[in-house]
């Protein structure tokens, strides 16, 4: 955890429920056991991070166990590559599954045996209806379904047919195994759900060993019960699958007692949206495929990989998860909360450095020619242990273009004609002359400095309100900065159903600044480290190599900017 106190007890309803379970002795001699069950068919995003961390922290809080189990029951959609990236992301987040890595496909054999027992018990049957027929027999939301003509086949016939399904005698889609429950149930999930389908497809782990694969509703509760998961947490759209979950678990315990001893229970909690981004797999894929972003790990993406590359820390994501809470109500967290979490961490941990992302040159006309002076600056204000560094100052420097205004509004206390400003850690300068090109763009400023105003040794008595950052031209190292901003211009890009969400993409979500002058200390920075470029925001030294070999820094988040607010108000 980060430096600030974070020892309060969890207060979410799931934590409370587990505590009560423990007090009641509802777990018997078992310890709390959770799991995260990703399907290896895509990349993890911030929403998954919440689920991962919730499951992991809950297990940890109660000194229990945490499994990582890949839900790989659909060979058509799943790949090893996703298994790898998912593990990398979870590991990075800090959720440690130890030796407890599992795959649903590990249990294909025993699951088949369980299915056979369901058939023997008259609780499952092979149905020859086509996919379309099954759909129409299912009924509608308001009308009961109709029983399949194959519903009352004998156990012997079902056993034979199921066995032959397994052997590969039938074509994909020609038959399925269904649980025999209740075609008149108000809950569609209970209307004789399909539990096995024929899929002549190669599986990323089991190869061609199987041509029938279990469905989620059959597979998941069984896997949970088999692993002894005590608390199976899932998102709220599975709430109406719970009766089926319980049905499977109950029958597993009764029909397969030698393998399944524990009655796992499912608890649902609401997913959470984030403002200024999208979270659905489909929309994220479109962003990538239509090249609105540069891949799944583009720093603007809400994917774990994207956030990692942006420079977010696992800690800040965990903090966000804790602060945003858990409930069953639909909710949308504000990006501002996430940003607060990373700023709070970096405020006390990120060394300060100076870089000028949009420079104009300043000539200090009364500076002794060719002279360089070293000025000291603290690395992290208020943290003496973080030390300080020497920064070269000279008669030619860069300052930020928007730190100068020819016609400053009231309360602008940066540099203006005939005005004064302090150069952070150095001297107070006055602007004497402004130079422009033919288009009227400012090209250069002539200023004079006041030798009496050296930082820490100011004898001038001047009180200058503004302090700006700078970089000595002669000593500057050149870097690239990627200035990231919100990917969308509106809070909820999914809101307007009839407008394509890509229309609200922020055209300025990435501004690349090349040849940005930065103070010499930047050259000693190590890839993968985080800094604050003074007054500009927190940046991450991207460890990936850039095209030109120059270091590049991703802006993780801007600093809060009260001035921007004041300006906006006019």
Partner RNA sequence: UGGGGCGUGGCCAAGUGGUAAGGCACGGGAUUUUGGUUCCCGCAUGCGUAGGUUCGAACCCUACCGCCCCAGCCA
Question: Distance between CA atoms of 22 and 13, rounded to whole angstroms?
Answer: 14
Concerning whether 191 is annotated as a catalytic residue, the answer is no
Of 6, 164, 167, 323, the one binding RNA by CB under 7 A? 323
Q: 462, 453 in Cβ contact below 8 A?
A: yes
Of 43, 56, 222, 238, the one binding RNA by CB under 7 A? 238
Window 472-511: residues binding RNA (CB under 7 A): none
CB count in 10 Å sphere of residue 30: 14
Instruction: For residue 568, give the H/E element and its range.
Output: helix 562-569
Exposed / middle / buried, residue 266 (Cβ in 10 Å: 0-12, 13-18, 19+): buried
Kindly tell me which of 127 and 293 has the beta carbon lying closer to RNA.
127
Of 48, 57, 241, 555, the one binding RNA by CB under 7 A? 241
Of 326, 353, 399, 513, the one binding RNA by CB under 7 A? 326
Instruction: Name the one range near RNA by CB under 7 A: 27-35, 112-120, 292-300, 419-427.
Output: 419-427
Window 12-71: residues binding RNA (CB under 7 A): 12-13, 16, 37, 39, 71
Kindly tell me which of 376 and 543 has the beta carbon lying closer to RNA.
376
Of 80, 152, 155, 174, the one binding RNA by CB under 7 A? 174
Instruction: Name the one range near RNA by CB under 7 A: 257-265, 301-309, 406-414, 515-523.
Output: 406-414
Window 118-147: residues binding RNA (CB under 7 A): 129-131, 134-135, 138, 140-142
Concerning whether 180 is annotated as a catalytic residue, the answer is no
State the virtual CA torsion across 336, 338, 342, 343 in degrees, nearest 10. 10
Q: 526, 541 in Cβ contact below 8 A?
A: yes
Query: What does the chain come to in residues?
Result: 570
Of 324, 394, 481, 482, the one binding RNA by CB under 7 A? 324
Concerning whether 290 is annotated as a catalytic residue, the answer is no
Instruction: Mark residues 259-298: x for contact with RNA by CB under 7 A, - for none.
Output: -----------x-x--------------------------
Of 81, 101, 121, 336, the one binding RNA by CB under 7 A? 336
215 contributes a contact to RNA by CB under 7 A: yes
462 contributes a contact to RNA by CB under 7 A: no
Of 240, 358, 396, 432, the one binding RNA by CB under 7 A? 240
Q: How far apart are the first and last CA of the chain?
A: 41
Question: Distance between CA atoms of 501 and 286, rounded to whole angstroms?
Answer: 10
Kindly tell me which of 176 and 479 has the beta carbon lying closer to RNA.
176
In this structure, are strands 388-393 and 373-378 parallel, antiparallel, or unpaired?
A: antiparallel
Kindly tell me which of 370 and 385 has the beta carbon lying closer to RNA.
385
CB within 8 Å of 212: residues ≥ 6 apart: 112, 165, 166, 177, 196, 197, 198, 199
Kindly tell me which of 321 and 509 has the beta carbon lying closer to RNA.
321
Q: How far is the CB of 548 from RNA (least distance, A)?
A: 28
- Per-residue tokens: 18: 């587990």
Q: 39, 219 in Cβ contact below 8 A?
A: no
Q: How far is the CB of 438 from RNA (least distance, A)?
A: 29
In this structure, are strands 537-541 and 428-436 parallel, antiparallel, or unpaired?
A: unpaired
Cα-to-chain-centroid distance, residue 268: 21
Supply the residues annotated as catalytic.
39, 271, 281
């Amino acid at each position: 955890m980060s430096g600030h106190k974070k020892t309060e007890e969890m207060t979410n309803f799931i934590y409370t429920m587990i505590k009560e379970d423990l007090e009641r002795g509802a777990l018997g001699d078992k310890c709390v056991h959770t799991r995260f069950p990703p399907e290896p068919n895509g990349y993890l995003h911030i929403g998954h991070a919440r689920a991962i961390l919730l499951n992991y922290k809950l297990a940890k809080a109660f000194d229990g166990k945490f499994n990582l189990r890949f839900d790989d029951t659909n060979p058509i959609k799943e790949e090893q590559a996703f298994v790898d990236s998912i593990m990398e992301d979870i590991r990075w987040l800090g959720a440690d599954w130890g030796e407890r890595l599992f795959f649903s496909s590990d249990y294909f054999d025993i699951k088949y045996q369980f299915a056979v027992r369901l058939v023997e018990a008259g609780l499952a049957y092979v149905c020859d209806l086509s996919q379309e027929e099954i759909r129409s027999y299912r009924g509608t939301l308001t009308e009961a379904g109709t029983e399949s003509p194959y519903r009352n086949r004998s156990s012997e016939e079902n056993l034979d047919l199921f066995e032959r399904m397994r052997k590969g005698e039938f074509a994909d889609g020609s038959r399925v195994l269904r649980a025999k429950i209740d075609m008149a149930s108000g809950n569609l999930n209970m209307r004789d759900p399909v539990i096995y389908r024929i899929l002549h497809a190669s599986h990323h782990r089991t190869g061609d060993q199987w041509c029938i694969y279990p469905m989620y509703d059959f597979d998941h509760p069984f896997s949970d019960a088999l692993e002894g998961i005590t608390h199976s947490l899932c998102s709220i759209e599975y709430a109406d699958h719970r009766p089926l979950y319980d049905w499977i678990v109950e029958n597993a315990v009764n029909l397969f007692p030698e393998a399944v001893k524990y009655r796992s229970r499912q608890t649902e909690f609401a997913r959470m949206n984030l403002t200024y981004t999208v979270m659905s797999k489909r929309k994220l894929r479109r962003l990538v495929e239509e090249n609105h972003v540069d891949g799944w790990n583009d720093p603007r993406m809400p994917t774990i990989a994207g956030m990692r590359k942006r420079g977010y820390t696992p800690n800040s994501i965990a903090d966000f998860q804790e602060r945003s809470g858990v409930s069953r109500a639909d909710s949308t967290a504000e990006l501002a909360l996430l940003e607060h979490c990373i700023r709070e961490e970096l405020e006390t941990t990120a060394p300060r450095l100076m870089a000028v992302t949009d420079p104009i040159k300043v000539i200090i006309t009364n500076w002794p020619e060719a002279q360089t002076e070293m000025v000291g600056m603290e690395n992290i204000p208020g943290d003496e242990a973080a030390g300080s560094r020497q920064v070269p100052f000279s008669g030619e420097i860069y300052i930020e273009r928007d730190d100068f205004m020819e016609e400053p509004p009231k309360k602008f206390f940066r540099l203006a004609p005939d005005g004064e400003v302090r150069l952070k850690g150095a001297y107070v300068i006055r602007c004497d002359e402004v130079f422009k090109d033919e288009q009227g763009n400012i090209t250069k400023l002539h200023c004079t400095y006041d030798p009496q105003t050296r930082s820490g040794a100011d004898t001038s008595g001047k009180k200058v309100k503004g302090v700006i950052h700078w970089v000595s031209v002669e000593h500057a190292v050149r870097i690239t900065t990627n200035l990231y901003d919100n990917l969308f211009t509106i809070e909820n890009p999914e809101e307007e159903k009839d407008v394509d969400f890509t229309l609200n993409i922020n055209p300025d979500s990435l501004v690349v600044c090349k040849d940005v002058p930065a103070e010499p200390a930047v050259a000693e920075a190590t890839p993968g480290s985080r800094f604050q470029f003074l007054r500009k925001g927190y940046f991450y030294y991207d460890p990936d190599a850039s095209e030109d070999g120059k270091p590049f820094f991703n802006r993780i988040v801007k600093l809060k900017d009260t001035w921007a607010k004041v300006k906006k108000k006019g």
